């Protein structure tokens, strides 16, 4: 069982337009609503591929029925922490060439008591769990200590902890020594405090995170795929998506794929291949839709146990 915590959940509304032009009136060609937030997406991807998971989500009574219906439809077991107004609305504008423009609300103003309620709800589900996964931005009023406490509570119960966040919360979480962190290229550079223009720079920054006590660093690199770095070495994997449709939730699906593979005892190379396969499959789907087995099986991944240090990075 993999338990996810999404402190700042959302209703993800994706509208598709023929082409976005600033200042113009547009007609949508499609509309899709999904339950969102990074941890929710991780649980949705796991459930779509048959993995047991539970999503812990703060949801007020005003949104509980609709959010629960969507999670039930996705076969995601869930626990709601009742906090009024906790579900924000995030809007993604998708164009035919795969370009996505996101407009995210900041979320509900929260208190330390709210954080305690979320952590208690996670801890209540850790019996028999193998991973506790904290994902996403934090709502106003909370800081990275929420994730540090999640790591501590998981480790006290013998459960591994993974964190996917950014900015100061990522740095706070790294100091708490989780088993896995999953930054993207930009987030790792922000933590390192410098640009990371080549793969060798990314690898150096990842090793600094390892030196801080983290078990594995999984870095998503956009078109450049992803790398996985642990104390035994590093691997790089990349896949080509012929028709990209949306990058929303791709990083979450990458993390879910890694957890799925590790749960099956996969090696670092094999786990990274699975992670990139899941993340790339998500890019080929609309909105924040997550891939199932048929989507994943269509993706071909190249894995290298010897990353090319001079490879230049692209914008996430």
Query: 231-250 pLDDT, tens per residue?
Result: 999 999 999 998 888 888 89
pLDDT at 243: 87
Query: 30-41 pLDDT, tens per residue?
Result: 888 888 899 999
Options 211, 252, 297, 316, the catalytic residue: 252
Average pLDDT over residues 1-27: 92
Q: State how far the Cα of 250 lies from the Cα of 163, in Å rounded to an integer.
A: 16
Confidence band of 316 (pLDDT split at 50, 70, 90): very low
Average pLDDT over residues 194-208: 97
Query: 272-315 pLDDT, tens per residue?
Result: 999 999 999 999 998 788 999 999 999 999 999 888 889 999 75
Write the Ramachandran bin of 136: left for phi over 0, alpha for psi from -120 to 50, otherwise beta: left
The pLDDT of residue 93 is above 80: yes
Chain centroid, CA 149 distance in Å? 19
pLDDT at 235: 97
pLDDT at 150: 98
Q: State how far the Cα of 68 lies from the Cα of 88, in Å rounded to an integer.
A: 15
Domains and CATH numbers, the chain: 2-304 (3.40.1190.20)
Query: 126-139 pLDDT, tens per residue?
Result: 999 999 999 999 99
How would you class 230 by CB atoms within 10 Å of its CB: exposed for 0-12, middle for 13-18, buried for 19 or more?
Answer: middle
Task: Please confirm, yes or no, whether 252 is among the known catalytic residues.
Answer: yes
The pLDDT of residue 42 is above 90: yes
Q: State how far the Cα of 104 lies from the Cα of 117, in Å rounded to an integer.
A: 24
């Amino acid at each position: 069982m993999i338990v996810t915590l999404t402190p700042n959940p959302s209703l993800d509304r994706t509208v598709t337009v023929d082409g976005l032009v600033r200042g113009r009136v547009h007609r949508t060609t499609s509309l899709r609503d999904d339950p969102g937030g990074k941890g929710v997406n991780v649980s949705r991807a796991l459930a779509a591929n048959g993995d047991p998971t539970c999503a812990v989500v703060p949801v007020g009574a005003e949104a509980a029925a609709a959010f629960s219906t969507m999670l039930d439809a996705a076969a995601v077991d869930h626990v709601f922490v009742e906090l009024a107004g906790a579900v924000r609305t995030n809007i993604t504008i998708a164009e035919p060439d795969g370009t996505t423009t996101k407009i995210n609300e900041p979320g509900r103003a929260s208190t330390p008591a709210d954080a305690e309620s979320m952590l208690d709800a996670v801890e209540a589900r850790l019996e028999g769990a193998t991973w506790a996964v904290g994902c996403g931005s934090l709502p106003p009023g909370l800081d990275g200590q929420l994730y540090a406490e999640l790591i501590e509570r998981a480790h006290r119960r013998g459960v591994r902890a993974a964190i996917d966040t950014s900015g100061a919360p990522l740095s706070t979480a790294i100091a708490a020594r989780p088993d896995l962190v999953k930054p993207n290229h930009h987030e790792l550079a922000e933590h390192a405090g410098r640009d990371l223009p080549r793969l060798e720079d990314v690898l150096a920054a990842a090793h600094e995170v390892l030196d801080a006590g983290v078990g594995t660093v999984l870095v998503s690199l956009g078109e450049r795929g992803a790398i996985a770095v642990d104390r035994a070495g590093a691997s790089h994997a990349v896949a080509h998506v012929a028709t990209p449709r949306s990058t929303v939730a791709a990083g979450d699906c990458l993390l879910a794929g890694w957890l799925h593979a590790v749960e099956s005892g996969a090696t670092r190379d094999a786990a990274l291949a699975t992670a990139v396969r899941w993340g790339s499959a998500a890019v080929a789907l609309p909105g924040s839709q997550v891939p199932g087995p048929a989507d994943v099986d269509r993706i071909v991944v190249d894995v290298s146990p010897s990353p090319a240090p001079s490879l230049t990075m692209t914008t996430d």
